[in-house]
Amino acid sequence: MTVASSAATHGQPAADRGAQFRYGIVFLLMLVLVVFVIAAPAANWSRAVAIGLEGIALVFAIATARERQEVRRQRAAGVGLVMIVLILLAATGAASQQLIEAANVIITAAIPVVIVGGLLRLLHERGVTVQAVAGALAIYLSLGLMFAWIIGFITHVDSTLYFAQHTNGTEGDRLYFSFTVLTTTGFGDFSAATPAGHALTVIEELTGQLYLVTVIGLLIGNYVGRRKATPSPTP
């Protein structure tokens, strides 16, 4: 059987055989990024590493998108080139903090946008799988990162201190705060001080809770139900 006929047998054009669902890798990259940003010191090299991890996650997300293989390759190459430039700017300190934070916001916002298209394709073709759950969780981590980068951008364009604790915090502090808000944990060691910060906090809280209850809840429920409905192999 030729490659083309094998691809046709699986209902997929030969040109699209390279498309695989790699959301487990995207999720792991986002998780490593979250831990790294929280633990790493605030320095040019750590900002460059963070952008690099974001870029790799975005490239993997693009590789799983619905578009043809040629389109995926072109977009991945374009993203890779932009990431290299941003990494060099961040590592050398040649870019302003506003530019770095704005780039982080755009990259992390692009990741869930790209993942959604591939997830819909995956759900249509195979139903709820482990990769689908991983993709949904990767989006959740992207949301926490995106809100943290937005807070960082605000701290660099507004002269008012963002937190009521009389500080703007480090990148790690802001990401830590973002996920306590997203998960509605609320330890209280950081809290927004301005009306804009209060509004952003409420938006993130609602986003996190609605996403967990609807998207994650439905996916996990359907995945568990599907596994229970699958008959066990006879001995």
pLDDT in tens, 136-185: 999 999 999 999 999 999 999 998 999 999 999 999 999 999 999 999 88
> 192 forms bridges with which residues in the sheet?
163
Per residue in 24-54, pLDDT (tens digit) is: 999 999 999 999 999 999 899 999 999 999 9
Mean of the per-residue pLDDT values of the chain: 85
Pull the structure tokens for residue 173.
Answer: 């502090």
- What are the backbone dihedrals phi and psi of residue 91, each rounded to the nearest 5 degrees, phi first? -65, -35
Residues 69 and 16: beta-carbon distance below 8 Å: yes
Q: Which alpha helices (DSSP H) does 127-216 contain, by range?
A: 130-157, 171-182, 195-211
